[in-house]
A and B are shown apart, each in its own frame.
Chain A
Amino acid sequence: MNSEIYRETILEHYANPVNAGDIPDADATARDFNPSCGDVVEIQAKFSDGIVKDIKFRGEGCAISQSSVDILLGIVKNKTIAEVENFTTEDFLEILGIELSPLRLKCALLGLNTLKTAVHTYLTRV
Chain B
Amino acid sequence: MSLNAEKFREDFPIFKRKINNRPLAFLDSASTSQKPQQVIDAIKDYYEQHNANPHRSIYTLCDEATQIYEKAREKVAKFINAKSDKEIIFVRNTNEAMNILAYSYAMENLKEGDEILLTIMEHHANIVPWQMLQKRGVKLKFVDINDDGTLNLNQLNEMITKNTKIVSVTHKSNVLGTVNNVKEIGRIAHDNESIFIVDGAQAVPNMPVDVKDLDCDFLAFSGHKMLGPMNIGVLYGKSDILEKMEPFMRGSDMIKEVQLTETVWNDLPWKFEAGTPNVEGAVGLSAAIDYLSKVGLSEIQKHEEELSVYAMEKLNEIKGFKPVFNGTLKNGVISFNMVGTHSHDVAYILDEFAVAIRSGHMCCQPLMRRLGMQSIARASFYLYNTKEEIDTLAEGLEKVNQVFKV
Residues of A within 8 A of B (CB): 1-3, 5-6, 11, 36-40, 60-66, 104, 107
Contact: A39 with B349, CB < 8 Å?
no
Contact: A2 with B405, CB < 8 Å?
no
Contact: B352 with A62, CB < 8 Å?
no
> Which one, A1, A11, A37, A65, contacts B361 given CB within 8 A?
A37
Of B65-73, B96-104, B308-316, B340-348, which binds chain A?
B340-348
Contacts known (A3-B349, A3-B399, A61-B342); A38 close to B404, Cβ less than 8 A: no
Which chain A positions have C-beta within 8 A of B361? 37-38
Query: Is B263 located at the chain interface by the 8 A CB criterion?
Result: no
Q: What is the distance, in angstroms, from A37's C-beta to the closest C-beta of chain B?
A: 4
Contact: A6 with B344, CB < 8 Å?
no
Query: Is B351 located at the chain interface by the 8 A CB criterion?
Result: yes
- Residue from B348, B361, B399 having most chain A Cβ neighbours under 10 A: B348
Closest to A62 in B: B344
Which chain B positions have C-beta within 8 A of A104? 348
> Which one, A1, A2, A6, A61, contacts B374 given CB within 8 A?
A61
Contact: A38 with B349, CB < 8 Å?
no
Query: Is B375 located at the chain interface by the 8 A CB criterion?
Result: yes
> Which one, A3, A11, A40, A61, contacts B344 given CB within 8 A?
A61
Query: Is B129 located at the chain interface by the 8 A CB criterion?
Result: no
Contacts known (A3-B399, A60-B374); A37 close to B349, Cβ less than 8 A: no
Instruction: Give me 10 other A-B pairs in contact (C-beta within 8 A), A11-B405, A37-B360, A61-B374 excluded.
Output: A1-B20, A2-B352, A6-B404, A11-B404, A37-B344, A37-B359, A38-B375, A61-B342, A61-B375, A62-B343
Contact: A2 with B342, CB < 8 Å?
no
Q: What is the distance, in angstroms, from B372's C-beta to the closest C-beta of chain A?
A: 12
Which chain A positions have C-beta within 8 A of B351? 2
Query: Is B278 located at the chain interface by the 8 A CB criterion?
Result: no
Task: Compute how far the CA of A37 lies from the CA of B352 in the bound complex, rounded to whole angstroms.
Answer: 19
Contacts known (A1-B352, A2-B352, A11-B404); A38 close to B345, Cβ less than 8 A: no
Which chain A positions have C-beta within 8 A of B352? 1-3
Task: Compute how far the CA of A37 lies from the CA of B342 in the bound complex, rounded to whole angstroms.
Answer: 11
Query: Is B365 located at the chain interface by the 8 A CB criterion?
Result: yes
8 cross-chain pairs, A with B, having the tightest CB-CB distances, nearest first: A62-B344, A38-B361, A37-B360, A62-B342, A2-B352, A60-B374, A3-B403, A63-B345
Contact: B403 with A38, CB < 8 Å?
no
Task: Compute how far the CA of A66 lies from the CA of B344 in the bound complex, rounded to whole angstroms.
Answer: 12
A-B contact pairs, 5 of them (CB 8 A): A1-B20, A11-B403, A38-B374, A61-B342, A104-B348
Task: Compute how far the CA of A60 lies from the CA of B373 in the bound complex, rounded to whole angstroms.
Answer: 10
- Residue from A61, A65, A66 having most chain B Cβ neighbours under 10 A: A61
Which chain B positions have C-beta within 8 A of A64? 344-345
Which chain B positions have C-beta within 8 A of A2? 20, 348-349, 351-352
Q: What is the distance, in angstroms, from A20's C-beta to the closest C-beta of chain B?
A: 15
Closest to A6 in B: B403
Contact: A38 with B360, CB < 8 Å?
yes
Q: Which of B331-382 contact A (CB under 8 A)?
A: 341-345, 348-349, 351-352, 359-361, 365, 368, 374-375
Task: Compute how far the CA of A66 lies from the CA of B340 in the bound complex, rounded to whole angstroms.
Answer: 13
Contact: B345 with A62, CB < 8 Å?
yes
Task: Compute how far the CA of A63 lies from the CA of B359 in the bound complex, rounded to whole angstroms.
Answer: 13
Task: Compute how far the CA of A38 lies from the CA of B404 in the bound complex, rounded to whole angstroms.
Answer: 21
Which chain A positions have C-beta within 8 A of B399? 3
Which chain B positions have C-beta within 8 A of A1? 20, 352
Q: What is the distance, in angstroms, from A78's C-beta to the closest C-beta of chain B?
A: 30
Task: Compute how far the CA of A86 lies from the CA of B404 in the bound complex, rounded to whole angstroms.
Answer: 34
Which chain A positions have C-beta within 8 A of B345? 6, 62-64
Task: Compute how far the CA of A60 lies from the CA of B341 in the bound complex, rounded to whole angstroms.
Answer: 12
Contact: B344 with A39, CB < 8 Å?
yes
- Residue from B20, B342, B345, B352 having most chain A Cβ neighbours under 10 A: B345
Which chain A positions have C-beta within 8 A of B341? 63
Task: Compute how far the CA of A36 lies from the CA of B349 in the bound complex, rounded to whole angstroms.
Answer: 18
Task: Compute how far the CA of A77 lies from the CA of B344 in the bound complex, rounded to whole angstroms.
Answer: 28
Task: Compute how far the CA of A6 lies from the CA of B349 in the bound complex, rounded to whole angstroms.
Answer: 10
Task: Compute how far the CA of A40 lies from the CA of B361 in the bound complex, rounded to whole angstroms.
Answer: 12
